[in-house]
Structure 1
Amino acid sequence: MIKIAKLPYILPAIFLFVFFITLNNTFASSIQNRYLLISVDDETGRLFLSTIDGKPEVKGDEKKNLLFYDKPPSSYTLVYLDDDILTFGSDYGRFNPTIADSHSIKLEWIYQYVTITQEIIFVKRKNSGIEDGVLIKYSAKNRDVHPHNIGFRVLFDTYLGENSRYHFGLSSGERLRGEKIFDGRNIPDYWISKDVKGVVCLRGVLKGSAVTTPNRVIFANYKALSENLKNYYVRRSRDFDYPPYSKNDSAIALYYDPLVVESGKERSVKTILGLCSKEEYEGEKPLIVVAPAPQEKKTLPMEQKKQKKIVYHIKDYKEFKSEMSNIANLKEEIRSIDDLLKQINTILEKRDSGQEVDVEQLKKIEKMISTNDNGD
């Protein structure tokens, strides 16, 4: 007798079949190995990344989205060219034919006197030799006779952390559930994004010999980043919501500031996305919670803790009371200034997003400023 498979086993198979058929119809170029699949949209050059079998020692991370899947994909790159901001793959330029093999995809996009090349290559992990990462490289060649300023912003619309309390983890041990900016020496070595069960895990490398460290890294709401093409003002009190348009939708933006590229020269930036290592899965590093509007607590060294207590004698009491009164007044002034800055920041955000600025709010701010001036 021929036995028919139970329905719960048939439905996932049908889903996976339809999923990969859809990919083949939507994307012109895809490469995959036993760990990962990366695809490039044929019209926009945008990226999508998912697992195939995932990590061999991990069960449950097979065929999982690592970046958000859309048509076209929502992860994309901006090119800063002098005073212009260009979206890589937009209709303002044109594509050369894609060059692809089983290991890499190369796509050239030409805009006026600049050729932007996007290269995607499978890379191995140093410790294990497992090819569970992809190097993403952007190169800009100046074909003009004049020098030009060229920079990049690479935006990854992450998928995994949005059902978790914490959207991102960092090499420092921090976990993020609100937006944050890193620059200079503060940029972490890498970031990770996990699903709610902690089984599926994406890792992005920011430092090391194989990558180009960005000038800035911003974790924020995807729609907010996509609408602010060059300058995004981070507020630590803001989470990954962007009401009323977008809720709990996080992304990461890598900013490579413009540099002068001489005639005939080229500028390149590189980053790596891949699966997390075993150590990160097991959480060997202690994690520090970084929440919106955190209250930082500093741990004093033992020698500072042992400092002699300050004792106020009766004769010093009047002076002590006067000092306490001055401190209280200073706190009130700081609160007023902080409130003023918050209101100014709100107006700037409305202006940047094209919303109408409240005249009454402007009058209130003017009154606060004049009050402070009179008090000086």
Structure 2
Amino acid sequence: MYFSKRIIFCLFGLFMFLALVSVQATAADDFFQNVDEYNNLRYGNQYIMIVINQNDNAQGRFAVETTGGAPARENDDDKPLIYGRPNPWTSYTSLWINNEKYVFGGKTERRAGKGAKYGEVIKPPTVEDGNVITTTKFGDVVVEQILTIVKSSTTGLADSAQIKYRITNNGSESEKVGLRIMLDTMLGENDGAPFRLGEDTIDSDKLYYDKQLDDFWQAFDSISDPQVTSQGSFIGPDVTIPDRVYFSDWGSLADGVWDFDFNPGQDFIRKGEYETDSAVAMYWVPEIIDAGATKTYVTKYGLGGITIVPGILSLGVTSAAEVTLDQNNNSFPVVAYLENTSEIRANDVSIKLDLPAGFTADQSVKNIGNMESGGISQLTWNVRPLDLDNLPAEITYRVTADATNTDSNQVERKVKFLGPPVLDADISLMEKVESVAGKLEPNPFRVQAEISNLGESALYGVESELIFPPGLVPAESEKPLKNLGNLQSGESLKVNWSIKALRVEGTLPFALKVSGLNGFEKTIVKEIELPQLNPLIYLKETTGKVDADYYSIDIVAANIGQADNISFDLNYNADKLLLTHVSRGDFFVRNGKFLPFNRPQRAARGNLHFNQDFPFATSNGIIATVHFKLKDPEHGKLSISDLKAVNELGNEIKIKIKNISEEE
């Protein structure tokens, strides 16, 4: 009889796991959006949806609810995970800006954030590329709330809400900014379920610092038959580790915009009332954000994945479905939950973790002792590979629960190992850049970087910064740093910059710095080719106010920075033009003062001879403007000849001539 029960329990657990995998493989990533009767914007898929308040009262606040919920459960459809009916208002985000405390989004007179300071909502909730974006401005500090649906670490399904805040300092001075995200969690109808973090069951006020946090916390009402299982993430490749986390009652957190009435060990009884009401607040301490810089914070909350086999000792096991390990992150947690569903005490209970060859964990067997009827225990292991460089594609581990007076139970669960993100990039010109009259056209011009992830795992919170070589600068209003979101395995993203060239040419190296959450950084160096800018002197008709009886031309130089002396003849048709005077060009005017300028000599009729020194570092400009009175409506041909240029060492420099009769 014992053997039969054990087989039945294992087969049931295997069936639940296979059903989950089957749904995961076939589920379509279809998303919907609509506006409900209470003017909430709803964005979701077959598992969960995010509900965002569009009304002026508490605009931008959000809730999370299930739609179809977990595929293996039929009783978790249409359940709240963050309270928000009929309109979200109980969860809110606070900002600490230069020692002042503010609330994100629209004002409210309700309890959560009542009487607080608010900014200006400059962008109401808007769906863009799968993200719901709301933007609030606090002086020079602009904060974007970006909500989207992403995969849960433990289910592997798109059943979690990613909650991101991007803070940009648009001012000219640095700002000190901190962030608090407070979530009014709820499990269906249960507003006070305990939080489970590592081996801790949290049912009263408790504070954790960053070094004390586990990868995730979960909440559920029962192991044998959970109605809803929720999960929040603290550590991982797609989240920003908070500096502090408070688990407390909602009333205290609602009343305190930043600081609040915190009493360690006090039950989650809503402050001023008599009902249980739990909430969680994540803090990121204030940091300096330089002028023009951006800081991003990310967390996740949604459904949790637990592989459960019911029984007298109901056993649930969870861990990340996919793991990327390296020298800095060389282990992953396994969490086991055990519930005594019998009416008797279970004696001498123990739980054992069985790992495949090549993996280890401290204290694989853990003794719980006696468990009273209805008791729940939870245990954790940190699993490590013996050789990080030779990881299998996947492993299966087993957790077994035993007691001396009940049947045992066991659960198996799989973990996939993925390699890290591997990035490559290509940088190219988006338009043909040519040398026209000694200058680049167009200028500014556009370049595009295509960034590809050739690795097995995604990179989250991607930012790309183009580092310019000398002589190239961002065009007006262009920012070198761009936020790109997430870069999945096998995916490519394109990002553009507008660039202005300052007298550069040829093969130019660009450094593309790509960074992601949790310290990921890679610099990729690529080259682009700009046309050569040869030294040039050309004639150009003077623009501006024109007298019908007079005619003027500019003698223009481009890229002659190496020249120390230039001589040439200007030839014109003296039968059609009468020379009146020659004025110096902007080459010989600096800071409102005239620089030495050699007046040209009339060498012969229809000829002016220029012999000019250029002892100053200027490459482009007008050498002189020559003015004529028209003898004939047709001014005839003008040209430059006998040009000679030398550098400061007396070596000759080749300078191209372009006369006015030639095509541009």
TM-score range, shorter chain: 0.5 to 0.7
Match of 2:179 among 152, 158, 166: 152
Work out which of the residue numbers 34, 37, 62 in structure 1 matches 2:46.
34
> Which residue is 2:146 aligned to?
119
Segment drifting more, 280-289 vs 245-254: 280-289
1:283 aligns with one of 290, 307, 316: 316
| Contact 1:161-1:167 within 8 A present in 2 as well | no
Asked if the contact 2:142/2:169 (under 8 Å) is kept, the reply is yes
Q: Is 1:63 matched with 2:78?
A: yes
Distance 1:162 1:114, change over 3 A: same
Tell whether 2:121 aligns with 1:103: no
Does residue 50 (structure 1) correspond to residue 65 (structure 2)? The answer is yes
Q: 1:228 to 1:125 in 2, by over 3 A?
A: closer
Other-structure match for 1:24: 36
Q: Secondary structure at the match of 1:238?
A: coil
Name the CA distance, whole Å, in 2 between partners of 1:235 and 1:173: 21
TM-score (structure 2 length as normaliser): 0.38
Q: Answer yes or no: is 1:182 the counterpart of 2:189.
A: no
Q: How far did 1:193 drift?
A: 2.1
* 1:233/1:184 CA distance change after superposition, 3 Å: farther
Aligned amino acid, residue 204 of structure 1? G
Paired residues of 1:223 and 1:246 also in contact (CA < 8 A):
no
Change over 3 Å in CA distance of 1:163–1:38 after alignment to 2 = closer
User: C-alpha separation between the residues in 1 aligned to 2:189 and 2:278?
Assistant: 7
Alpha-carbon distance in 2 for matches of 1:62, 1:259? 41
Task: Pick one of 275, 288, 291 that aligns with 1:263.
Answer: 291
1:39 Cα deviation after fit: 1.2
TM-score between both structures, scaled by the size of structure 1? 0.65
1:133 maps onto 2:166 in alignment = no
Cα shift at 1:86: 0.7
2:582 alignment partner in structure 1: none
Matched residue, 2:312 = none
SS in 2 for 1:269: strand
Q: Matched residues in 1 for 2:125 and 2:165: separation? A: 15
Q: Check if 1:245 corresponds to 2:273.
A: yes
Q: Percent identity?
A: 24
Letter in structure 2 aligned against 1:111: F
Q: Secondary structure at the match of 2:36?
A: helix
Letter in structure 2 aligned against 1:141: T
Note if contact 2:217-2:231 (Cα within 8 Å) is conserved in structure 1.
yes
Return the alpha-carbon distance in structure 1 between the equivalents of residues 304 and 263 of structure 2.
29
CA deviation map 1:151-170 (0-9, x unaligned): 11000001128848852111
Query: Where does residue 169 of structure 2 map in the other structure?
Result: 142
The structure with higher relative contact order (CA 8 Å, sep 6+) is: 1
**Amino acid corresponding to residue 83 of structure 2 in structure 1:** F
Tell me if structure 2 keeps the 8 A contact 1:166–1:176: no
Deviation at 1:248, TM superposition (A): 0.8
> Which residue identity lines up with residue 65 of structure 1 in the other structure?
P
Q: Does 1:210 align with 2:238?
A: yes
TM-superposed deviation, 1:183: 0.2
Matched, 1:89 2:105: yes
Asked if 2 retains the 8 angstrom alpha-carbon contact of 1:161 and 1:193, the reply is: no
CA distance in 2, matches of 1:191, 1:85: 28
Three-state SS of the structure 2 residue aligned to 1:283 is strand
Judging by fraction of residues, say which structure has more helix: 1
Residues 216-240 of structure 1 show CA distances to partners (whole Å, capped at 9, x for unaligned) of 0000011111222223464333111
Give the 3 Å change call, closer, same or farther, for CA 121–255 of structure 1 in structure 2: same
Q: Does 1:167 align with 2:194?
A: yes
> Does the CA-based 8 Å contact 2:162-2:300 persist in structure 1?
yes
Structure 1 128/75 Cα, relative in aligned 2: closer, same or farther at 3 Å?
closer
Code of the aligned partner of 1:86: Y
1:176-219 deviation per Cα after TM superposition (whole angstroms, max 9, x unaligned): 11110000310221111224652201110010110001010000
Per the TM alignment, residue 103 of structure 1 is displaced from its structure 2 partner at its CA by 2.9
| More strand as a share of residues | 2
CA RMSD of aligned residues (A): 2.9
Contact 1:94 1:109 in 2 (8 A): yes
Letter in 2 for 1:108: T
TM-superposed CA distance for 1:97, in Å, is 4.3
SS at match of 1:96: strand
Question: 2: CA distance between counterparts of 1:243 and 1:131?
Answer: 35
How far residue 127 of structure 1 moved from its aligned partner, in angstroms, is 6.8
Unaligned runs of 5+ in 2: 1-33, 108-118, 310-314, 318-334, 340-362, 364-664
What one-letter code is carried by the residue in structure 1 that aligns with 2:211? Answer: R
Aligned length: 270
Structure 1 236/280 Cα, relative in aligned 2: closer, same or farther at 3 Å?
farther
CA, structure 1 residues 121+80, in 2 after alignment: closer, same or farther (shift >3 Å)? same
Q: For residues 257 and 75 of structure 1, what CA distance do their matches in structure 2 show?
A: 19
Q: 1:242 & 1:57 partners in 2: Cα distance?
A: 33
Secondary structure of the corresponding residue to residue 185 of structure 1: helix
- Partner of residue 77, structure 1: 93
1:188–1:207 Cα contact (<8 Å) kept: yes
Report the AA paired with residue 136 of structure 1: I
Cα gap change, 1:121/1:86 in structure 2, threshold over 3 Å: closer, same or farther?
A: same
- CA shift in 2, pair 1:99/1:180, >3 Å: same
Aligned partner of residue 226 in structure 1, secondary structure: helix
Distance 2:129 2:68 in 1: 17
Q: Which amino acid aligns with 1:31?
A: Y
Change (3 A) 1:246 1:26: farther
Does the Cα contact within 8 Å between 1:203 and 1:275 map onto a contact in 2?
yes
Cα distance in 1 between the residues matched to 2:188 and 2:266:
17
> Could you tell me how far 1:140 is from its partner in structure 2?
0.9
Partner-residue secondary structure (3-state), 1:25: coil
Distance 1:180 1:262, change over 3 A: same
TM-aligned CA deviation for residue 46 of structure 1: 0.4
Change (3 A) 1:102 1:143: closer
**1:76 to partner: Cα distance:** 0.9
